[in-house]
């Protein structure tokens, strides 16, 4: 039976439901695609019951000066409300409020964002703020949110954030990125040195299970970039990395 | 509150892998979802009240009017 702790879609569903992943062990054999769809349905169900109240909050926010809205949001420390508000506010207004919030609270909010709508707000933040949020998420070991952050920020911010984060954090976060096109984009923006660092982390910390999942999702072009990065490793690690790349489509 | 089945609770058709789960597992999952929904509703309500508490008195009337309260 699949260990639920090694299933990215199950880990994300558990996050959405606010329960430990072990509580969803009975769903471990459900196909990944079905778990992703089910998580979307659950998120929609939650939003459906909240939308009227949130639209009222959005209407109210329109008449409050942005610095006061930011102060109110920061003082309330309601990360879920702030995340939900960002989905109903005009993205430019939401980003303007977000710019005034402390980084640790922005990391709390990022963890509550619906990834389908997060690009609007996260993409509107200054690059240095995005990098700071990424570092905070890595320090918290919040790999789900870090993966979603990397998948939703512009290219320049991806480059700056990956440069500021350790290789092992990137391996763990990449494993949790659902959108293959975004995963491909992030890998293609990652420097060869950082890809080598990721491979080294996979070897040192035995993260091959996570890395294999990323390797399986990538195109041949991206795999070539990783193969080139593997050439920089010491002999023993290089052999293992190249074997993992070659065997990526075999059953684990 | 009347308990809803998972299929009644979730908008749209359940994905095949979820629909095929044992009815007992589906019932437990429906309960987890309901619990999370209630928890989130409470969290949102508390945060909204907390925000209003720090709203300057001067703006309360106009904000209430804008929010249709």
Q: Is the dihedral of CA A105, A109, A111, A112 positive or negative?
A: positive
- Asked if A73's CB is within 8 angstroms of B51's CB, the reply is yes
Residues A102, A212: Cα–Cα separation, whole Å: 36
Per the rule left: phi > 0, alpha: psi between -120 and 50, beta: everything else, A148 is: alpha
Taking the model in full, what pTM does it have?
0.88
User: For residue B19, which of B4, B32, B33, B29 has the smallest C-alpha distance?
Assistant: B29
Of the CA atoms within 13 Å of residue A52, those in its CB half-sphere come to 4
Of the CA atoms within 13 Å of residue A84, those in its CB half-sphere come to 25
User: For residue A62, which of B48, B65, B58 has the smallest C-alpha distance?
Assistant: B65
A158 vs chain B: nearest CA distance in angstroms? 31
* Residue B69 pLDDT level (bands cut at 50, 70, 90): low
- Asked if A57's CB is within 8 angstroms of B66's CB, the reply is no
Q: What is the DSSP secondary structure assignment for residue A26, as one 8-state letter?
A: G
The Cα-based distances of B12 to A17, A45, A188, B17 in angstroms read 19, 10, 36, 14
- Asked if A59's CB is within 8 angstroms of B33's CB, the reply is no
Block residue for tokens 């992030």:
A186
* Residue B1 pLDDT level (bands cut at 50, 70, 90): very low
Give the model confidence (pLDDT) of A55-105 as tens digits. 888 888 888 888 988 988 888 888 999 998 888 888 888 888 899 999 999
**Predicted pLDDT at A140:** 96
Predicted-complex ipTM score: 0.87
* Residue A22 in tokens: 């072990």
Strand blocks (E) in B1-69: none
Tell which B residues from 35 to 64 touch A, by Cβ distance under 8 Å. Answer: 36-37, 39-41, 43-44, 46-48, 50-51, 54-56, 59, 62-64
Q: Which helix (H) or strand (E) holds A52?
A: helix A32-62
* Residue A128 in tokens: 């240095």
Q: Is the dihedral of CA A138, A30, A117, B43 positive or negative?
A: negative
Residues A167, A138: Cα–Cα separation, whole Å: 11
To the nearest 10°, report the CA torsion of A177, A124, A118, A143.
40
- Pick from A78, A93, A114 the residue to mutate for testing the B interface (most B CBs within 10 Å): A78
Give the model confidence (pLDDT) of B15-61 as tens digits. 999 999 999 999 999 999 999 999 999 998 888 888 888 888 888 88
The minimal CB distance from A17 to the residues B22, B33, B67 is found for B33
* Furthest-apart CA atoms within chain A: distance in Å: 63
């Amino acid at each position: 039976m699949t260990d639920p702790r090694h299933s990215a879609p199950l880990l994300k569903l558990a996050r959405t439901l606010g329960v430990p992943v072990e509580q969803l062990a009975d769903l471990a054999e459900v196909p990944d695609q079905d778990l992703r769809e089910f998580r979307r349905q659950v998120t929609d169900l939650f939003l459906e019951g909240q939308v009227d109240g949130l639209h009222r909050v959005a209407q109210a926010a329109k008449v409050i000066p942005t610095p006061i809205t930011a102060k109110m949001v920061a003082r309330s420390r309601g990360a879920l409300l702030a995340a939900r508000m960002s989905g109903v506010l005009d993205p430019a207004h939401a980003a303007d409020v977000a710019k005034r919030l402390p980084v640790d609270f922005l990391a709390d909010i990022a963890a509550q964002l619906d990834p389908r709508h997060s690009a609007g707000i996260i993409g509107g933040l200054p690059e240095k703020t995005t990098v700071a949020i990424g570092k905070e998420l890595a320090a918290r070991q919040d790999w789900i949110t870090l993966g979603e952050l990397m998948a939703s920020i512009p290219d320049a911010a991806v480059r700056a954030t990956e440069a500021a984060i350790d290789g092992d954090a990137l391996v763990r976060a990449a494993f949790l990125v659902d959108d293959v096109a975004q995963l491909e984009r992030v890998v293609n923006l990652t420097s060869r040195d950082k890809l080598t660092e990721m491979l080294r982390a996979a070897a040192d910390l035995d993260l091959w299970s996570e890395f294999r999942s990323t390797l399986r999702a990538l195109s041949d072009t991206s795999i070539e970039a990783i193969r080139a990065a593997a050439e920089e490793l010491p002999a023993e690690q290089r052999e293992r990395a190249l074997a993992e790349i070659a065997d990526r489509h075999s059953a684990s | 509150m009347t308990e809803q089945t998972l299929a009644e609770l979730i908008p749209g058709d359940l994905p095949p892998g979820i629909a095929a789960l044992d009815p007992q597992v589906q019932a437990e999952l429906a309960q987890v979802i309901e619990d999370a929904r209630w928890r989130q509703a409470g969290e949102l309500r508390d945060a909204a009240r907390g925000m209003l508490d720090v709203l300057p008195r001067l703006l309360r009337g106009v904000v209430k009017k804008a929010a249709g309260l």
